[in-house]
Amino acid sequence: MAAAISNIRSPSIILFGKGTVSYQRTAAPFQIPQFPLNRPRFTALFASLDDGNNNDDGSNKVTKAVGLEELFEDSPYDVVSKDSPFHPRPLSSTQLPNSVSAGSRLRVAYQGVRGAYSEAAAEKAYPNCEAVPCDQFDAAFEAVEKWIVDRAVLPIENSLGGSIHRNYDLLLRHSLHIVGEVKLAVRHCLLANHGVRVEDLQRVLSHPQALAQCENTLTKLGLSREATDDTALAAKYVACNKLKDTGAVASSSAAKIYGLNILAEDVQDDCDNVTRFLMLAREPIIPGVEKPFKVSLSMTIPFAVKTSIAFSLEEGPGVLFKALAVFALRQINLTKIESRPLRNQPLRASDDSNNGSKYFDYLFYVDFEASMAEERAQNALRHLKEFATFLRVLGSYPVDTTML
Ligand SMILES: O=C(O)C(=O)Cc1ccccc1
């Protein structure tokens, strides 16, 4: 039964139950390549469906795929079988005030107030979306988990500051799936109320990352710094309180929204200031890899897909080497590897016989260039699972190639 569906281009509904396949064709954006369904490990895969929401490509179709559940014991992937075919539908607006209304735009939660960079990232990822501001990241995650919104945006790394570890921790604490990424060129402005000059300023407010990215400029201006939850909140605070001695570092759109004057543009220390944001959803959306990606009129590259995973390893010589080999052996390129001491694990101090060295248990975050729809990725992770003490697939998603 599995072989018959290898050429489905854009299925609307596929149920791969044991011995059961059904599908419909739609104009969904992602292809679902042939999964190794002959393996008894796979009990189900589900790809669907017209949920009335705007999709990444502006259509009303959302393609979702789940499966692989027996591949990884702790798999975050929900499995839909023929007997329990569908996940719960989003709550209707009558059931939950302010929830997704039927046929409405995709709703995307972000941390911050209007004018925050995360809002711009949401709009870049989903051009017709309704961006929903949340005061904290946890609220944005919860809004997705409770079906109030469809996606959450999470800044994850910056070209100047590196990974945002707190946000990696959030990813692990929750069980949302990465379904997209967006890279945004961040161009900070120094904002103040009308009539206020640079010389009048004593201090500046902004998100700690924005302040760090403008370190040199702010030092030269002799301004003291205060942190706010997001850049746009700093702008809002300065405007609402009509402050004369305080400026804000935020975007030009925050200036427009809160009626502030732009005293200086591009105040970041490095002009290549790019932040990478992740788009999170309740369910995985696993892109296929057969669609070619057009970089320009003359250049086409294979559809670029990445997978993000987190894992920890047994102790022992060469275990990290072995972990990396599972990818190298299958020609899978890594685009990121990051290690982080595991929380709640005490520092273990060795005795003298171990040269007095001290060590932590580490969690590794790896991004690799393959989709979980590919057999080589599934094989690599099955191999890794043989000696990983923990493994979680955070999601497969199309690479944002707009900043190549
Ligand atoms: O504060 C914001 O506007 C955010 O979205 C977080 C952020 C801060 C600085 C650079 C990029 C994103």
pLDDT of res. 345: 53
Superfamily name with CATH number, domain 287-398: ACT domain (3.30.70.260)
277 has catalytic annotation = yes
pLDDT of res. 404: 63
Distance 188 CA to ligand 1 centre (A): 10
On whether the CB atoms of residues 154 and 171 are closer than 8 A, the answer is: yes
Local mean pLDDT, 10-residue blocks, the chain (404 residues): 27 30 28 28 31 42 33 31 29 34 79 97 96 95 96 95 90 94 97 98 97 96 97 98 98 98 96 95 89 62 84 89 97 94 56 50 92 96 95 95 78
Partner residues linked to 306 by β-bridges: 397
Distance 207 CA to ligand 1 centre (A): 6
pLDDT of res. 178: 98
Whether the CB of 188 sits within 6 Å of ligand 1: no
On whether the CB atoms of residues 351 and 358 are closer than 8 A, the answer is: no
- Is it true that the peptide bond before 49 is cis, omega within 30 degrees of 0? yes
Q: How many beta carbons lie within 10 A of that of residue 392, not counting itself?
A: 19
Equal fold, 107-186 vs 287-398: no
On whether the CB atoms of residues 67 and 39 are closer than 8 A, the answer is: no
- The closest-lying atom of ligand 1 relative to the alpha carbon of residue 209 is 9
pLDDT of res. 213: 95
326 by Cβ neighbours in 10 Å (0-12 / 13-18 / 19+) ranks as buried
The distance from CA 352 to its chain's CA centroid, rounded to whole angstroms, is 44
DSSP SS3 for 206: strand
63 has catalytic annotation = no
Distance 250 CA to ligand 1 centre (A): 8
Whether the CB of 243 sits within 6 Å of ligand 1: no
pLDDT of res. 340: 86
Partner residues linked to 281 by β-bridges: 177
Q: How far is CA 88 from CA 42, 62, 213, 386, in A?
A: 22, 15, 43, 34
pLDDT of res. 52: 42
Taking the C-alpha atoms of residue 71 and residue 164, their distance in angstroms, rounded to an integer, is 29
Q: Which fold has domain 107-186?
A: D-Maltodextrin-Binding Protein; domain 2 (3.40.190)
Whether the CB of 268 sits within 6 Å of ligand 1: no
Tell me: ipTM over 0.95.
yes
**Which one of 277, 303, 311, 364 is the catalytic residue?**
277
Domain positions in the chain: 1-87, 107-186, 189-272, 287-398
189-272: in CATH 3.40.190.10: yes
- Residue of 118, 213, 214, 225 with the most ligand 1 atoms within 8 Å of its CB, for mutation: 118
Give me the helices (H) in 259-340, please: 319-328
